[in-house]
Amino acid sequence: MTEHTLTVAGVAIDTRHWIGGERVASTETFTDVSPIDGSVLGEISRGTATEAAAAVAAAKAAFPGWAATPRAERARVLHAIADGVEKRLEELAIVETTDNGALLRSHRRGVMPRVAHNFRFFADWLLQLEHEDFDTRGHTNHVSWDPAGPSVLITPWNAPLMLSTWKVAPALAAGNTVVLKPAEWTPLTASLLADIAAEAGLPAGVLNVVQGYGSEIGDALTSHPDVRRISFTGSVPTAKRISESASGNLTPLSLELGGKSPLLVFADADLDLAVDLAVEQYDNAGQVCLAATRFLVEESVAEEFTRRFVQKAATLVQGDPRDEATDIGPNIHPNQLDKIDGFVQRALAAGARAVIGGHRKDGQYYAPTLLTDVAQDSEIVQEEVFGPVLTLQTFTTEEEAVRLANDTRFGLAATLATGDPERAERVTARLVAGTVWVNCFFVRDLQAPFGGSRHSGVGREGGTWSFDFYCDIKNTVTAPKGWKDHG
Mind telling me the catalytic residues?
256, 289
Helix (H) or strand (E) holding 381: helix 379-382
Q: Which residues pair with 139 in a beta bridge?
A: 136
Question: Which amino acid is residue 269, in one-letter code?
Answer: A
Q: Closest Cα partner for 278 from 107, 437, 104? A: 437
Longest dimension (CA), the chain: 86
Q: Closest Cα partner for 218 from 247, 238, 234, 188? A: 238
Cα distances (angstroms) measured from residue 267 to each of 299, 423, 439: 8, 12, 13
Contact 190, 167 (CB under 8 A): no
Whole-number Å distance between alpha carbons of 169 and 155: 13
Please spell the DSSP secondary structure of 123-186, one letter per residue. HHHHHH-----EEETTEEEEEEEEE---EEEE--SSSHHHHHHHHHHHHHHTT--EEEE--TTS
Whole-number Å distance between alpha carbons of 55 and 49: 10
Whole-number Å distance between alpha carbons of 229 and 176: 9
Strands 457-458 and 253-256, how do they pair?
A: antiparallel
